[in-house]
Amino acid sequence: MIELLVVVAIIGLLSTLSIVALNNARARARDSRRLADIKQIQTALELYYSDVALYPATASVTAGGAISSGSTMYMAAVPTQPTPADGGCTAAQNTYTYTQTTVGGGPAGSSYTLTYCIGQTTAGITGNALQTATPAGIH
């Protein structure tokens, strides 16, 4: 009987450890997807800029929307962020927020900011805080 209790306790301990490891792996996967989404959006924005010489208006780059100019489609659907929010990110911060900006005295739409939040440090990007992507790269 005691041997059976020991076996059950060991199985319970191993199950608990594997669930914790699985949850950490899922959080890392969501953060990796967030960074991949940001890179894809940036690529579409750069293609748009290459053709139009300005970045799109803020209203045109929303989750589920498309990035296009005339008949040219750069991104059929802007991705939505994976849920739930991870680490110190709140549900309100767990969004991709695009804003068309101006650099120096240049024309309106000469730059952009794209904010996002990742839960833990991934690929050299610090976690638990809002991060910004610009034409200069991901920060």
Identify the burial level of 94 via C-beta atoms within 10 angstroms of its C-beta, where 0-12 means exposed, 13-18 middle and 19 or more buried. Answer: buried
Residue 59 in this model has a pLDDT that exceeds 80: no
Return phi, psi of residue 65, to 5°. Answer: -80, 175
pTM score: 0.83
Average pLDDT over residues 80-99: 88
- Total count of domains within the chain: 1
Please tell me the number of Cα atoms within 13 Å of 101 on its side-chain side: 14
pLDDT range class, residue 113, cuts 50, 70, 90: very high
pLDDT range class, residue 70, cuts 50, 70, 90: confident
Residue 91's domain comprises 2-138
Those residues with Cβ within 8 angstroms of residue 90's Cβ, 6 or more apart along the chain or in another chain: 117
Residue 65 in this model has a pLDDT that exceeds 90: no
The pLDDT assigned to 88 comes to 82
Which tokens belong to 43? 């690529």
